[in-house]
Amino acid sequence: MTQNASPSDVQRLPYAPSDPDATALRCAHVTVDASADAGGLERPWASLGYDEINWTYTPQGRRTLRTIGGFAETPYHVRPHNIFNSGTGLGLPHWGSGNVYHEDADGKPYYDFIIADLTYDAIVGAGHHPLVELAFTPLALVPDEAKTEFPFENSPSQYSAYEAGWWSYPPKDYGKWAGLVGALVEHALERYGADEVQHWLWELWNEPDISYWRGTPEQFHDLYDVTVKAIRDVYPAAHVGGPAVTGGDQGAVFLHGFLQACSDRDLPVDFVSFHTKGSHFTPWRTYGPIGAPAPERQSPSTPKMLREIDRALAVIERFPQYTGAPVIVDECDASVPAHWGIYDNANFAYRNNEYYPVFQAKLMKKVLDLNEQHTAKVHEATTWSFSMEGERYFEGTRSFVTASGIEKPLMNAYRAFAHLRDRRVAATSDQSTDISDISALGNGLPEEVDVIASRSSADGSVAILIWRHTDDQYAEDPDTTRVELAVNGLDSGDWTVEHFRIDRSHSNSHTVWQDLGAPQDPTPEQLAAITARQGLERFADDAELTVDGVAGLELDLPLPSLSLVVLTKVA
């Protein structure tokens, strides 16, 4: 018989010893009821994106996609910018070019899919599905007014006015744009087949509410109309959507106008997309001495992100015909921009260390909590993180890997997510933050211990993520927080317990690199030492426990840290 127990009266498993040099001054009580099914566990983390489309198919880009595909429990959607940009295919930070569209001397369009094939081959070959962002305007379709009104001064450090901003103007010929879109869809079907392309998402543009779109909202609505028809004429089953606006006030207004226009025209919106960012450090770039401290200590804000998501969901809910469509926050990031790092502003240091993966775990759980408050629900929350070519070791860019393809601690958050099972089960912590009133949360979430738990419908195994975090990357605490974990609703018998950890001393290539003296030309031996510690590491040896309905476990969590506990019934 399954018995219920509070954390104070369960049996103790002598399994996760405290750090002998730390003192647990606080205690959090976490209770999981493995028999209380809370429905299928949505997996909002299963998507990524990036600006630099031409780094998709570099050796490091391919390895990164394959690494994620190797541990991912479900295919990720992958969203790169710039498939329609004109250019040579040279990868640069915050820039790229798919170079698909061209015209002959008579103005007749023709298409070059070489870069598109390299890009989507790498994504699909790693087990993922593209989210095709149909953008931006090719050089041959730039309107004449762009060439007269766009301010640009030639400079040896820039290419041309096209790279500087001509690409952001609406195409001058919507008919030729429709032909381009239809040709890409047709080519994808021929190359990958409908069994694969049925999983692709087709999205018009990126952040049309700001300088990425130098047209009017009405022009954008017209272009969406043209684009949807071009896609559906070739592939009627295609999933189309947008508008990928920013999370600010202007984005919310644009989102409402877009959905209203689609409603008025009876246009399909198979998914609704928008963005949110947790911080815009001031100044973004300091131009100070190398290694200089930040002029002001700043950290990403979880409440800012939740408020922006909450507001966008409320906008969507004004349109019942679109409320049931999946919501994709296809840039959901702790800070912008992705390609700047610690040499621009020292506040970007969190991207290198254990703070970031624990932040991501907290954010994804809070997004799921927010879904409970809305009819419209977030289906994917995309990290704008991938791989940066040519950077220094631990540059601080928003990426899964650093120089030499070394995996940063962020990668291990996604490894931990992949361990979560298919069914969510009830889990509570007496030190979690209530987000039912987002307006009352202030600029940052206070320190908390929170949890998300799951159970496999196949073998009954249970996977639990527990973390300690605060929205202050500079917070220090020499003491740990004791977590008394009670897991109710387990079948009686013998269970194996696994415990994985992300903190300063575990699953953390950055700490190893620092301990080696932060070398920028590591020896083979140093690289071997760093890569040996880059994966998701066990905190303790596996243990076995005889259970009669309930299991107890004690954890000591430093700040910040995340524990993954997996319980599997012994056959």
Residue positions annotated with a catalytic role: 207
CA dihedral 302, 303, 305, 309 (to 10 degrees): 140
* Cβ neighbours for 330, distance < 8 A, ≥ 6 positions apart: 47, 49, 77, 79, 131, 203, 244, 273, 275, 380, 382
Within a 13 Å sphere around the CA of 472, how many CA atoms are in the beta-carbon half?
14
Tokens of 151: 């301010």
Helix (H) or strand (E) holding 329: strand 327-333
Rounded to an integer, what distance in angstroms lies between the CA atom of residue 534 and that of residue 525? 15
Give the Cα separation of 188 and 194 in Å (integer).
9
Contact status, residue 210 vs residue 246, Cβ threshold 8 Å: yes
Three-state secondary-structure class, residue 108: coil
Could you identify the residue written with the tokens 């690494």?
Answer: 67
Q: Give 16's DSSP letter.
A: S
Which DSSP helix (H) or strand (E) runs through 250?
A: helix 249-265
Q: Is the dihedral of CA 90, 94, 97, 103 positive or negative?
A: negative
- Beta strands 239-245 and 201-204, pairing class: parallel
- Contact by Cβ (8 Å): 485, 556: no
Q: Which of 300, 239, 303 is nearest to 272 (CA)?
A: 239
CA–CA separation, 82 vs 368, rounded Å?
30
d(CA 266, CA 259): 10
Q: How far is CA 218 from the centre of its chain?
A: 30
Tell the burial category of 213 from Cβ atoms under 10 Å away from its Cβ (0-12, 13-18, 19+). buried
- Can you count the helices (H) and strands (E) in the chain? 14, 22
